[in-house]
């Protein structure tokens, strides 16, 4: 494994290993997205809670959507556009992943309209 590990993981002996403190944040982010269905609202909540990236940056909507689409969280590895079983443990279960992606399949305009007050 080279490069920076995804949020919620650390590198141990060239392998991805769950970093439990941040892995809990990842689980909460996925579960909360299933509840509210809005990246904008979720980014606001993360800012209010003081949850930041490993580098100390604010978690914005772009970072969130990249995280929600990262197959590493379900224990898979990507290579040349194909998904393979990874050597690391999943942080997110397949059911939660499927719920998040069902929401993401909806039109962003439709989702935005339903979350506006």
Instruction: Please report, for the domain that includes residue 59, its CATH number.
Output: 3.90.1750.20
CB 57 within 8 A of CB 43: no
83 burial (CB, 10 Å; 0-12 / 13-18 / 19+) is exposed
- Structure confidence at residue 43 as a pLDDT band (50, 70, 90): very high
Question: What is the SS3 assignment for 78-113?
Answer: EECCEEEECCCCCCCCHHHHHHHHHHHHCCHHHHHH
- Structure confidence at residue 3 as a pLDDT band (50, 70, 90): confident
88 domain residue, yes or no:
yes
pLDDT at residue 82 tops 60? yes
**pLDDT higher for 112 or 92?**
92
To which residue do tokens 């969280």 refer? Answer: 73
Report the domain count for the chain: 1
2 domain residue, yes or no:
no
1 domain residue, yes or no:
no
Mean of all residue pLDDT scores within the chain: 90
pTM for the structure as a whole: 0.87
- Per-residue exposure over 47-70, b if at least 16 CB sit within 10 Å of its own CB, e if not: eeeeeeeeeeeebeeebbbebbeb
pLDDT at residue 2 tops 70? no
Helix (H, G, I), strand (E, B) or coil at 17: strand
92 domain residue, yes or no:
yes
**pLDDT higher for 115 or 33?**
33
């Amino acid at each position: 494994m080279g490069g920076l590990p995804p949020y919620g993981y650390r590198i141990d002996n060239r392998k991805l290993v769950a970093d439990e403190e941040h892995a809990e944040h990842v689980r909460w982010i996925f579960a909360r997205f299933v509840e509210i269905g809005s990246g904008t609202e979720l980014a606001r909540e993360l800012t209010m809670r003081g949850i930041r990236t490993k580098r100390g940056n604010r978690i914005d909507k772009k970072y969130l959507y990249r995280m929600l689409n990262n197959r590493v969280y379900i224990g898979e590895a990507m290579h040349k556009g194909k998904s393979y079983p990874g050597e690391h443990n999943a942080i997110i279960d397949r059911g939660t992943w499927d719920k998040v992606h069902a929401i993401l399949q909806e039109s962003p305009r439709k989702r935005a309209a339903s979350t506006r007050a």
